[in-house]
Every structure is written in C-alpha cells, then in structure tokens.
Structure 1
Amino acid sequence: MARVLITGGAGFIGSHAADALLGAGYDIRVLDNLSPQVHGTTRKRPDYLADDAELIVGDVTDPIAVERALRGVDKVLHLASAVGVGQSMYDIASYVQINELGTAVLLEALAKRPVGKLVVASSMSIYGEGLCRASDGTTVAPAERPIGRLRQGDWELHADDGQPLEPVPTPETKQPALSSIYALNKYAQERMSLITGKAYGISTLALRFFNVFGPRQALSNPYTGVLAIFASRLLNERPPLVFEDGLQRRDFVHVRDVARACVLALESQQTDAVYNVGSGQSRSILSIAQDLARVMGRPNLQAEVTGKYRAGDIRHCFADISHSKAELGFAPSVSFDTGLDELATYLADQIAEDRAEQATEELLRRGLVA
C-alpha cells in the first residue's frame, strides 16, 4: 500500500483529502502543527480527522519533524500554509516563514529522500485580477485598480480608454499579478516546488485552488474562506460584512471536489505543470451572503455592504478548468446548491466566535482598509 504524506492534513482541505486518499486505498500520514488559529487553543486532534490517518504533530518549518514524517513515504501532498490575504499584509514575517521557509525545508528533505510524486497547493490569488474582455472583443489582463478610484467607490475594472471590462474565465496561461504577500507566498511555493522537482527527478504538480467551501472549515478564523466568515457572523445572529459593493465575483468549489483533484494529481502521469481547481462558474460575494443566510434559516440578516476596500483584494477572478479536465480528468461533481445545503446542515450544531469586526479593525488601524 502506497503511503502519502499530507502536510497540513489536519486542516479543512487536508482532512477531506485524507478521506479521499484512504478511500482510494492509500496509507495516510499527516504532519500538522495544529495551529491555534485553526484548531483552537487546546490543539487536540480534530474529531473529523480519519482514525486511520497517522498524525505527527509538528511544524513544516522544523527539519527534524519533516524528515521523520517523510520516512517510508511514496508521495507528498503539500497543503501546509498560513492562509488569508488580509492577515498576510501585516503578519509578513510569519507568512513568509510558514509558507516559503516551510516549503524550502520540505524540499531540502525531499532532495535527500525523493518521492514518486509531489503535489503542492497553490492559489487563484497569484492571478491578481482575472482575465477580462474589452469592448472590441480582445482578451486583456487588467491592471491593478488605482487606489484613488477605490477611495471614490469606483470598484469596477476599466480599460486604458476608460471603457468597462467584462470578466471571463481565467486559464493557467495568465501571467501572475501578485497583489498581496499571500499571493507572493503561494507563487513562491509553486515555483520552488516545480524547480526542485525538476532538478531532483520528482514528478511535481501545482494545483491552483479557487474559493474552497464545505464542512470543517475553521469558523473562528477571520482570515479563512469568505463563506466560513459569513457563517460565523450568521451563527452569532449578525449580518455578513461585505466589502466594496458586493458585486465582485469569485469561483466557489466544494471541498470534496478539491480532495478528488488532489487524488487525481497524485495519480497523474503529468509532471512539471499547474492546474486550476475551481467550479468554472462565478458568483457575486453579495449573492453568496444572501444564499447562505437563506439556507441557514436567517434570511432577515441581510448583508451589510461596507463600501470599503482591503489592500490586496481583487475585483473578479474565476477559473477556466478546461486544462484540468483534459489532462487530469477533473470535473466538479458537487453543485453549489447541494454543497451549500450540506454546509447549512453542518453549521446547524456548530458554535463560532465571530472575529470579523475585530479583524477589520486591525486592518483599519494599519491603514489597510480604504
């Protein structure tokens, strides 16, 4: 039985990936530091982590822990990461240490003990703004929105001639436009892994995750996925807080589909390549807040549109998944509505500490909200 090491495997995506890989017949080992921001101050093994998954409590930045975790391993799924655009803009040293140094420590260990496959989690954040179509029908990569326009509440993307741009699906061929420290971290993780894999003969793939949602997401972490942040607000009978005008568009993909993409990548014969992992559909953040309130039985808690902008945020980005479908055989199987209903069922007996306003105040204090 092949053994897979999942770094960060006790977290949201990692635990679902463990389930999928166990179901596919793999032996699973998890390396996770059980970060208090994700797992709470008790730092106990989460109840949702499969009993058959071996857990090593350790940090990916610790060479001794990493070398121990790699013993007898055939493949590696590298998910360990500090997550969140907003926090990355002020907790810079910590994000670089966890995301970039942690990846470097893992890669140095793999150089000494190569495995058959390395799959690293990247992010849609590396694209910055997604691709758009101009009024003449050409496809363009929008420039970063000027802060002056954002301060005036002009949120949309414009061409150089001032004409509006229409967002379209973004393929892997779009050049990176790194607008946050987190985006820079994820691109560094991706490139370091691909470069090292090629040098040491390790078949390596990077998966660019879009907005992942589903059960087990850390509800008390104000820098996690937007649906979990909205859920935390709603569980505390508070309206979701929506930045800008709420019409910014994202791609929401269910965590089980993401876990299946991880299995496909680990089993793929492809190497030295990157793939989008999304739904291929776009939804506005405001509509997401309204849909979640409805399925949670709190339709009266209408989203509060703040009209504010956070440093590092982008306007629109959703995935072109044709490359992933053609080469990995990946196609989403969980519809958004089904996934949202499932999430509502999971949330029914959850307790969350709402820290969204505290996080926003921290960003305001640092001048990162306009």
Structure 2
Amino acid sequence: MKVLITGGAGFIGSRLALRLVECGHEVTVLDNLLPQVHGDRPEESEGYRAVAAKTNFVRGSVTDRDLLQRALTGQDAVVHLAAETGTGQSMYEIERYNAVNIGGTALLLDILANGEHAVKRVVVASSRSIYGEGRYRAPDGTFVYPEHRAEADMKAGDFEVKHPGIDGPLELVSTDEESKIHPSSVYGITKQVQEQLVMTVCPSIGVEGVAFRYQNVFGPGQSLSNPYTGILSIFSNLMMQGKPINIFEDGEESRDFVFVDDVVEATVLGIEHPAAANEVFNVGTGDPVTVMTVAQTLSRLLEADVPIEVSGNFRLGDIRHNYADMAKIERLLGFTPAYDFERGIARLAAWAKASGPQASSYEESLAEMRRKGLMK
C-alpha cells in the first residue's frame, strides 16, 4: 500500500515508517520538524535522519491545506500521528493545541470528504488521556469513574481519588474501551475530539476508521531534551546530568508504560488487519507501574547516585492511576505486547547511556507552570 504518516519523523512515527517499509509499503512522511521535538537543528534529529532516505518526506504542517492535499494524493491509508503533546503545556497553550490537534484532524477529514482520493483507511493516534482517571471498583462491586481530584485535598497530601457517596476505598481496575471518557486536561480533550472526528466522519464517507488509545509510550529514540515528553526520558536525562529527581505527589501514582516497538506492531495491525476496521483499541501492557518504581529502576540501570525526593508537588490536570484492559485488541487483532516494563526500560537505559545527557528546559517548563498556577 501507499501510506501517509503525519508526524512521521517523530518518536513513534519514524519507527512505524521504517517498519512499514520493511513490510513492502511505500511510505510518505509529513512532518513539520518542530524544534521542541527535534531540537534546534531538526535535520540532524534521529527521527528525521531515520526516515529521510527511505520515505517520501514532506516538510510542513497538517494545518496547511494545500500541502496536506498534495500529500494525500494517491495514498491508500493514512496514519494520523501529528499532534502537539504534553499534558502540562496544553493547559496554557490552549489555542495551539486545539489548532493543531483538532484543526489538523478536521482539515484532513474535510479534504477526504470533499475531494477525490484513494484512501481506504485512516488510523488515528488517540490516547489514554481521554479516560481521565481510570476505572475503579466500589466496595459494593460496581464500577465507578472518579472525577478530578480536589486541589484542597492534594494540598493536604491526600492524593487518592474520591467518588461522591462512597466512603470506603476504591479498588483500581483496568480501563477498557467501554469505560467513561472524561479527560482532565486540554490535551486529553483534543485527543478525544480527534478520535471522535475520525470515527464519526470516516464511516460516513466510505473510509474505514481505526483509533488506538496509546498508553504511556517509551523507548529508545524518545527525546531527552523535550521537557514535555514522558517521565522515563526526562528522569533518564536528569540522572545522567547528576541532578536530583523530584517525585510529584507521593510517588505511588501509576501508569501503563508501553514499549514503542509494541506500539508500532499494534499500529501495523491497525493498517493491515481487516478486523481493525471501525474499531477503537487500547494499546498498553495491562500492568500499572508507579512513578517511584520508574525512578528507582532507572537509577539502578543508569548507575546514577542521585537523590530521589518525594516532594508532594502536583500538577493540575494530572491523574492518579490508569492502566489498560487489553482483551479487545488481543481478541480481534491477536495482539499482545512483546515487552514488559523491565525488558523495555532496560532497552531505554542502554540507549540513554550511549546517547549521553542532552540540554533540556525541563526546570524552565516547571517554573512556567508554577507562574501560571498549574503546579503546586
């Protein structure tokens, strides 16, 4: 097939592009090479260099109608990865996140709805962030979906989720695709709208839509300098610089960390597998890992003797827990992740050691959030 990947020089996109080329597909990459992701010399970035010689590379934005229309010419499938990412940043760069994430997706679909094309399937990168807090079981056995945590509770050091009318403790369980969608950040809202646009418009114009709700993706090649990327690369970079690690909340907050190679394999199935048509899938491991475990494991693997401090700081818009129920993607597509957390983080640490520390504006990004009242 001929496949267009928007955001195809990024962390996930560049690896997906190379995997599709291996599978015999002809790949076009559209990417604006954003300096926040690719650095001040984006043509030297790992993602760009990986795809430049093996794909048809087009530099530009998904908000550019003429450019996007040309890139879509002759394509059989589209993987729409291009998006502004970062939960914290989204809470104050609201217009930009909406313009790119929602506007770019709307433009893509508008072109497909109003012109001739060969596209048969659109795969969109959704996110676990659309769920907000994960799914919990109440003492009476019913499932509940807690709303945002109260700032007053977190200031008092109480970071656990609450649900109206329930006094007893809530049991964290996996979040399946039928769980309540209630994002707690602007980023999560934009991912929800991206997914809903694709899954609503595509069937109406004779195109198959597929949405993947990626959990926290990590692995070699994830930017060490981007302060809004995942905590594994942020922590790795800080440790290699000998800087202390500030653990937010109490360190017991957890996420489902999924290795990038597994995300790529799931996405290939989303492009090729007939059973993926018009379906929404979680992509994770099904296992929650605490932030404290992340920090301790990286410290051991990187042999980094740095302080790991639990500060009690917190960011508005962050959730407490979320991990994926993987039953649907295994049942319909036969997908199970090849990497557990230990194996994946070992690969990340080895790559980080070889790459060395990178200049980052992480501290500045936290200071910006404090100035705007989003970090306490």
Shorter-chain TM band:
over 0.9
**Equivalences for residues 172-187 of structure 1 within 5 A:** 172-187=177-192
How far did 1:222 drift?
Answer: 0.8
Letter of the 1:278 counterpart = G
User: Could you tell me whether the CA contact under 8 Å between 1:128 and 1:177 is conserved in 2?
Assistant: yes
> What is the percent sequence identity of the aligned residues?
43
Give 2:320's aligned residue.
315
Deviations 1:301-323 (A, max 9, x none): 23222201101100000000101
Deviations 1:18-44 (A, max 9, x none): 122112111111000000000112221
Deviations 1:230-257 (A, max 9, x none): 1121121112222111101100000000
User: Could you tell me whether the CA contact under 8 Å between 2:18 and 2:54 is conserved in 1?
Assistant: no
Paired with 1:59 and 1:361, the residues of 2 have a C-alpha distance of 29
Once superposed, what is the RMSD of the aligned Cα atoms?
1.3
- 1:184/1:287 CA distance change after superposition, 3 Å: same
Paired with 1:184 and 1:114, the residues of 2 have a C-alpha distance of 30
Paired with 2:46 and 2:372, the residues of 1 have a C-alpha distance of 37
**Taking structure 2 as the reference length, what is the TM-score of the superposition?**
0.95
**Equivalences for residues 272-311 of structure 1 within 5 A:** 272-298=278-304, 300-311=305-316
How far did 1:171 drift?
Answer: 0.2
Give 1:60's aligned residue.
62
How far did 1:143 drift?
Answer: 2.3
> SS of the residue aligned with 1:44?
helix
Give 2:370's aligned residue.
364
Letter of the 1:346 counterpart = W
Deviations 1:263-310 (A, max 9, x none): 001112232221000011010011101101111111x22322220110
Paired with 2:76 and 2:132, the residues of 1 have a C-alpha distance of 34
Deviations 1:169-214 (A, max 9, x none): 0001011112110000000100111111011110001000000000
Aligned length: 368
For residue 103 of structure 1, the aligned residue among 92, 102, 105 is 105
Give 2:122's aligned residue.
118
Give 2:196's aligned residue.
191
How far did 1:114 drift?
Answer: 4.8
Paired with 2:285 and 2:244, the residues of 1 have a C-alpha distance of 26
**Equivalences for residues 120-139 of structure 1 within 5 A:** 120-139=124-143
Give 2:342's aligned residue.
337
> SS of the residue aligned with 1:349?
helix
For residue 169 of structure 2, the aligned residue among 164, 167, 170 is 164
- 1:45/1:190 CA distance change after superposition, 3 Å: farther
Paired with 1:195 and 1:138, the residues of 2 have a C-alpha distance of 30
Paired with 1:186 and 1:284, the residues of 2 have a C-alpha distance of 24
User: Could you tell me whether the CA contact under 8 Å between 1:28 and 1:54 is conserved in 2?
Assistant: yes
5+ residue gaps, structure 1, are none
How far did 1:120 drift?
Answer: 0.1
- 1:306/1:25 CA distance change after superposition, 3 Å: same
User: Could you tell me whether the CA contact under 8 Å between 2:39 and 2:45 is conserved in 1?
Assistant: no
Letter of the 1:46 counterpart = S
> SS of the residue aligned with 2:42?
coil
Paired with 1:25 and 1:338, the residues of 2 have a C-alpha distance of 29
Give 1:146's aligned residue.
150
Deviations 1:58-97 (A, max 9, x none): 1010011101111221111000000010000000011001
Paired with 1:74 and 1:272, the residues of 2 have a C-alpha distance of 16
> SS of the residue aligned with 1:253?
strand
Paired with 2:311 and 2:55, the residues of 1 have a C-alpha distance of 43
Letter of the 1:125 counterpart = S
For residue 220 of structure 1, the aligned residue among 199, 218, 225 is 225
> SS of the residue aligned with 1:41?
coil
Question: Runs in 1 of length 4+ with deviation above 4 angstroms?
Answer: none
